[in-house]
Chains A and B, each alone.
Chain A
Amino acid sequence: MRRKLLALAATAIAVPSVIFAAVHSAGAASGSQQASKIPADKQAADAAHEAYLANARAQYAGVQPPSPGPLPTSCPYLLPNDLANTVQPFNSANSNEIADALEIDTSAEALVMKSGYTFRVLAGTSDGGAGAVLITGDPIDPCAHPDQNHLSRLITIAKTTHLRVSQVAQGLVDVTDQAGLQHTVDPATGDAH
C-alpha cells in the first residue's frame, strides 16, 4: 500500500491534484467507513516527519546508496590467525593490549575469551598479576558457533559471581572462585557445580 503511494507522492510533487484524486478515489471505494479521529497533534507530528523525509529525498535526489559490500564472514570475536598456537605472556603491563588483540574481556574478575570452544584460555590472576594466555586449536567463526550464546552467558555469570574462568574447553568450562574452589560450568545450561 505504502509502496504504491510512495510512487504517487513523487508524481504529486509536480501535480498535486493527481494524488488528491487518487487518494480520494481510494477513500470513496472503501464505502461507509467512518472518519478517522486521529488527534491533531499526531497528524501534525506525522506531517512534520513526512516533510523531513520529502526534503531529504529532494536534497539528496542524485545520491545513490553505496554498495553494502559482502556480508561479514566473521565477527569481531574471531581470533587473529597469527596469534593461534602461541602462548602470550600476560601481566598488568600488557593485559589490555593482549585483551584487545584477542577480543577478550579483562574488565571484571573474569578473563574469558569470546571465542570458539576450540581455544583454551588460561587466565591470568584477576588482580592483574602475572599469568599466561595459552591459545590452542584452530580459529573458528564464533558467530556461527552454536554455543556462542552460552559463552556470552558464561561471561556474564563469571562477572556477576566473581568466578575466574581458568579454562574454556570443549563441552565444559572450569572456573575457580575467589576462595580457590574449583567449579565446572556446563555451557549448555550455564550452571556451575
Chain B
Amino acid sequence: MGASRAVAGACVVTLVSLSTVGLPMTPANAAPPHYSHTWYVTNPDAVPALGASDALYNNQFCATAMVILDWGQLNRHSTDTDTQYDHYGMDDFAGGAPFVAMNIVADRSTKYIEQWEANATCGSLDLVVGTNNSAPECPTSPCNIYYYGENLALAISNMTNWMSSHGYLNNPYFLDLAGGSDIEGDGLPYWDTAANSRQAVDGYNTSWDSVGARFVDYGDPFTSQYFASGDQYYVNWQATHDWPLPQDYGSGFYPAYDSLDQNNGDDWEFLGALSQCGGADPLPTGTYCLDALGHNTYTPTTAFNNIANTAPNLQTEMSYSPNIKNQ
C-alpha cells in the first residue's frame, strides 16, 4: 500500500535491500495529498455506484487514493446462505445494522473497483475492505473471532485472485487491495477487549496465503483498562501484516500516537491520516471542519500534517488522506 511496495515487482531483492538502507519514498514534510472519499457503508447495493462517482471525483486531482469501505461490526449469521465464508460478515451502518454476508461484501467491493477502473482517467486506487471491533463482536450467532479474521483474509485473497485473473492488476488505475479494521482501544461496553480484538488480527495474519495483503488499522490510539499500550502496538504495527492509518480527529490524537510509537519500538510507519469531515465537497482546508454531528474535527490537511510530524524522520510511507463519512 505504501510507495515502497509499488516498485517491488520483479525487483524484490533490489527493493528489499533499498528498504533496508532506508531510502525514504515520501518526505514527511511533503504537501498532503488531496483527500479521498471513504465510507461507512449503509447501502451495499449502491457501493458500485460509489466506485464510479469516487473515480470521477479523483480524476480532478489524480491522487493516489486510499478508499476504505468500512462494512461495520463483525458478525455471523448461522442461518445465512453464505457458506463460502462460514456465515461470517458485517452489520453495516444503516439503521438497524442489517447483516451483510462476507460474499456480498466481497462482491460489492469488487464491483466498486470495477466501476472505479471504468471511470478513472488518472490517479490510482488502494482499496481497504474493513470492519471494526465494536462490542459485542458476533452478537447474533456463536462465532470464533479468530476464524472471522481468517475469513476476512480469505475474502481479500479471493478478491485479489479474481482481480488478477481478469486483468485488473494491469490496469494503471488500480494498485492494491487490503483488509482492515477500525480497532478502537476505548474498551467495553462499546468496543471489545484487546484479547478479542487481537484474535481477529491473529486470524488475518496467520491465514495469509500467497496473496499476503496488508491489514490496515484505522482505529484510534487510545488505551483503557481493556486495551493497553502494548495491545495498540500489536494491532497497529507489531503484527506482521498490520499497518496504521491513524484517526486524527482532534488535539488528543497525534500525541497519543506519538506516545505509542515512543513506548513501543519507536519505529512506526504511518500510511496516512484519517479525517471525518461531514458535508459536501470541497471540504474546508483550515484547521477544523464539522463532522456529521456538527462537532469540530480536524480537516484532512491538518490531520495529515499532524501525523506526518509524528516521528517525522520515519514517515516514509505517508501517502494517504482519506476522509470518512456515512455513505
Query: Taking beta carbons and an 8 Å cutoff, which residues of A are in contact with B?
Result: 1-3, 5-10, 12-13, 16, 19-20, 23-24, 26-28, 30-39, 41-54, 56-61, 63-68, 71-72, 75-76, 107, 143, 148-150, 152-157, 190
Known: A1-B3, A2-B64, A36-B314. A54 touches B14 (CB 8 A): no
Q: Is the CB of A60 within 8 A of B95?
A: no
Q: Is the CB of B24 within 8 A of A36?
A: yes
Is B189 in contact with chain A by the CB < 8 A criterion?
no
Q: Beyond the given A24-B18, A45-B208, A155-B96, could you list 5 further A-B residue pairs with CB under 8 A, ordered by the A residue number?
A: A3-B64, A45-B212, A60-B167, A65-B117, A65-B171
Q: How far is the CA of A154 from the CA of B95 in the complex (A)?
A: 8
Q: Is the CB of B19 within 8 A of A156?
A: no
Q: Contact check: which of B25, B27, B114, B265 meets A68 at CB < 8 Å? A: B114
Known: A71-B48, A150-B95, A155-B98. A8 touches B20 (CB 8 A): no
Q: Is the CB of A30 within 8 A of B9?
A: no
Known: A23-B23, A63-B166, A65-B166. A5 touches B267 (CB 8 A): no
Q: Is the CB of B11 within 8 A of A19?
A: yes
Is B309 in contact with chain A by the CB < 8 A criterion?
no
Is B310 in contact with chain A by the CB < 8 A criterion?
no
Q: Contact check: which of A6, A68, A153 meets B6 at CB < 8 Å? A: A6
Complex A-B: 6 CB contacts under 8 Å: A36-B19, A42-B241, A47-B8, A49-B5, A71-B49, A75-B46
Query: Which residue from chain B places its CB closest to the CB of A158 in the assembled complex?
Result: B96
Among the interface residues A49, A51, A61, which one has the most CB atoms of the partner chain B within 10 A?
A: A49
Known: A56-B164, A68-B111, A157-B96. A35 touches B6 (CB 8 A): no
Is B175 in contact with chain A by the CB < 8 A criterion?
yes
Contact with A along B193-229 (1 / 0, CB 8 A): 0000000000000001011111000000000000000
* Size class of the B contact interface (CB-based, 8 Å): 35 or more
**Chain A residues in 8 Å Cβ range of B19:** 36, 38, 43
Q: Is the CB of B16 within 8 A of A60?
A: no
Q: Contact check: which of B23, B49, B164, B165 meets A27 at CB < 8 Å? A: B23
CB distance from A81 to the nearest CB of B (A): 19
**Chain A residues in 8 Å Cβ range of B214:** 45-46, 49
Is B319 in contact with chain A by the CB < 8 A criterion?
yes
Q: Is the CB of B266 within 8 A of A60?
A: no
Q: Is the CB of A63 within 8 A of B45?
A: no
Q: Contact check: which of A12, A38, A64, A190 meets B7 at CB < 8 Å? A: A12
**Chain A residues in 8 Å Cβ range of B172:** 3, 6-7
Q: How far is the CA of A20 from the CA of B7 in the complex (A)?
A: 10
**Chain B residues in 8 Å Cβ range of A31:** 27
Q: Is the CB of B64 within 8 A of A16?
A: no
Is B181 in contact with chain A by the CB < 8 A criterion?
no
Q: How far is the CA of A60 from the CA of B12 in the complex (A)?
A: 19
CB distance from A155 to the nearest CB of B (A): 6
Is B103 in contact with chain A by the CB < 8 A criterion?
no
**Chain A residues in 8 Å Cβ range of B42:** 149
Q: How far is the CA of A35 from the CA of B22 in the complex (A)?
A: 4
Among the interface residues B97, B115, B122, B316, which one has the most CB atoms of the partner chain A within 10 A?
A: B316
Known: A9-B11, A33-B316, A152-B94. A26 touches B25 (CB 8 A): yes
Q: Is the CB of B24 within 8 A of A9?
A: no
Q: How far is the CA of A65 from the CA of B119 in the complex (A)?
A: 13
Among the interface residues B7, B26, B64, B79, which one has the most CB atoms of the partner chain A within 10 A?
A: B7
Q: Is the CB of A50 within 8 A of B316?
A: no
Query: Which residue from chain B places its CB closest to the CB of A156 in the assembled complex?
Result: B96
Query: Which residue from chain A places its CB closest to the CB of B49 in the assembled complex?
Result: A71
Query: Which residue from chain B places its CB closest to the CB of A73 in the assembled complex?
Result: B49
Is B280 in contact with chain A by the CB < 8 A criterion?
no
